[in-house]
Amino acid sequence: MILLAGAALRDGDVGLHYLIDSASARNERRLIAADRHGGCSTWHDETGAAPDDSIHVSGHAPLHPLDQESSMNISIIGAGNIGKVLARRLVEKGHAGHAVRIANSRGGASLQAVAQQTGATASNVPDMIANADVIVVTIPLAKVPQLPKGLFDNAKPSAVVIDTCNYYPRQRDGRIDGIEAGANESRWVEEQIGHPVVKVFNNIYAAHLEGMGKPAGTAGRIALPVSGDDPKAKQIVFGLVDDIGFDAVDTGTIADSWRQQPGSPVYTADLDAQGVKDALARASKERTADWKATSASPGTFDHPA
């Protein structure tokens, strides 16, 4: 608790800018974030055990090497609502040295305005994989199979792939048989791209991601659930979530990630860390009719079918 209070005071010193300039301070804050969220609330849906609601601030969690670097190469696939917000927020971490690239399916030349708006570098999808530390996939779910085959084959072994995608069968995506048959959404994404993912940023509206971030330690700070099978990858994601103004709560593995899908209690609810833990524990695995395709799917967001 003493460490957490220290972080809040330091953040307060820089006003609304909850960025910490010195590398040592930055690492200390990452350590706090890791300790607060690292693994302590993980559970498996096989056991049905309730999450551990304690928040540890012990200060002994080891940091992943990337956490100790001052910069990461971050590549964002998708330049829509979420891609642009993430690009802008991560570029604002510029003094920390993140190099942010953004791409769509039409090539970098189509993204000059987005590059100007966000400060990210417009790029082409195939060109921004090889040296990326973090790759964000943030496109309509049904378009994921259209990504170039083998796209992630030349990714660094340590690359963290973030999946923000949601299944909107009746509004946008149409029927996806694997998901309708019971695959959770991020598992299906993993199968399409042939790479493990960390699921995050899927349960918050883009506008809220843009405007509702707060300094660490702020009472009621919104928390985002994070699922993934690789603890090191999740540690990196916890740091990014914290960087852009949110707490992170560990949902568990990708097998558990249905707890944060559309229709779940945590979805678009803007809850704080305890609220997220409670909501994850309340989630039901059943996919309700609102989130299943019909024979007329897809309709539109105004007229779902």
CB nearer to ligand NAP: give 12 or 126.
126
Residues 149-188 close enough to bind ligand NAP by CB under 6 A: 164-166, 168
- Shortest Å distance, C-beta 205 to ligand NAP: 4
Both tokens of 2, joined, read: 């003493």
- Decide: is 300 part of the binding site for ligand NAP (CB under 6 A): no
Q: Are strands 223-228 and 198-199 parallel, antiparallel or unpaired?
A: antiparallel
Q: Which of 10, 32, 41, 83 binds ligand NAP (CB under 6 A)?
A: 83
- Decide: is 108 part of the binding site for ligand NAP (CB under 6 A): no
- Shortest Å distance, C-beta 40 to ligand NAP: 25
C-alpha–C-alpha distance, residues 280 and 276, integer Å: 6
Helix and strand numbers (H, E) in the chain are 9, 8
Q: Near ligand NAP by CB under 6 A, which window of 55-63, 91-99, 140-148, 289-297?
A: 140-148
Backbone angles phi, psi at 13, to 5 degrees: -60, -25
Pair 98, 248: CB distance under 8 Å: no
C-alpha–C-alpha distance, residues 34 and 62, integer Å: 9
Task: Work out the number of other CB atoms within 10 angstroms of the CB of residue 172.
Answer: 18
- Decide: is 141 part of the binding site for ligand NAP (CB under 6 A): yes
- Decide: is 266 part of the binding site for ligand NAP (CB under 6 A): no
- Decide: is 78 part of the binding site for ligand NAP (CB under 6 A): yes
Both tokens of 244, joined, read: 């852009």
Name the residues that contact ligand NAP, by CB under 6 A: 77-83, 104-106, 125, 138-141, 143, 146-147, 164-166, 168, 202, 205-206
